[in-house]
Amino acid sequence: MKRVLLKLGHWLLPAVYLGISRLLLLTCRIRQHGEGHFTEGFASSPFIAASWHYGIFYNLHLMHRLRRENGQEWILMLSASSDADYVAMILEKMRLQTVRGSQRKGGLAALKKMTALMRQGMNAGIIVDGSQGPARKVQAGVILLASMTGAPILPTAWAADRYVAFRSWDRTVLPKPFARLALWYGEPLRIPARLSSGDLEKYRLELEERLNRLYQQAWGEFGIREH
């Protein structure tokens, strides 16, 4: 019986999630900023889309939409913990590929696998403050991935005028029905192939500053300083 319930959950949860997210976001109005930066990153494909963990709900929808519209494959890194198993099921249903790893477990192996897949032409989506934070602090993995692949990092952030923020470490945001969304793309950041430890920290801080500036611009559009 337990096995049957697990199989049912494996099929049902992703389908329910996709159905609800599509219906919800169909009611929202989305205004984009910095589309020239997106075009620049897209022209350099493969590229790395970098974002904060709070925005994961809409970010997954966006990558799924881009995959449907442009036919480009995406690879995302998920935590190796069992907590991310259901997220992996949802991404499988969305036809977004995943590798499992984190700063604490399997991170280097996951980066190597992502590097190999990006060299085959896949774009990467990275939650740059990781699976456990701290919030809005870039972890070094995305800089290493960009250095190993030569792919530019495209910073992104979004905000909503009406939303629910969960009581999690990152305050994950869920837009309310009929919300207005502001999606901001930043200038792509290119990382050299060979990095010293000093260079790694320099580019890590540069990306962090760019993402936080986008965060402020996105939420500031609705008169909100911090979600």
Domains identified in the chain and CATH numbers: 2-220 (3.40.1130)
Greater model confidence, 65 or 223: 223
87 or 156: whose pLDDT is higher? 156
Reply yes or no on whether the pLDDT at 182 is more than 70.
yes
Q: Are 220 and 68 in contact (CB under 8 A)?
A: no
Q: Looking at 16-30, 176-190, 198-212, which range is the least confident one?
A: 16-30
Contact between 189 and 210 (Cβ < 8 Å): yes
- Mean per-residue pLDDT for 101-110? 70
> Tell me: the pLDDT tens digits for 38-87?
888 877 779 999 999 999 999 999 988 888 888 888 999 887 666 667 77
For the chain, give the percent of residues with pLDDT over 70: 90
Provide, rounded to the nearest whole percent, the portion of the chain with pLDDT above 90: 60
Q: Decide: 145 and 203 in contact? Cβ < 8 Å.
A: no
Select from 190, 71, 51, 74 the least CA-distant residue to 124: 74
209 near 50, Cβ under 8 Å? no
Beta bridge partner(s), residue 156: 185
The reported pLDDT for the residue numbered 95 is 83
Please report the pLDDT score of residue 80 as a whole number: 66
Write the DSSP string, 127-164.
ETTTTT--TT---THHHHHHHHH-PPEEEEEEEESSEE
Q: What is the mean pLDDT of residues 198-212?
A: 97
Task: Output the pLDDT for position 3.
Answer: 52
Average pLDDT of the segment spanning 166-175 = 95
pLDDT digits (tens, 9 = 90+) for 106-133: 678 888 899 999 999 999 999 999 888 8
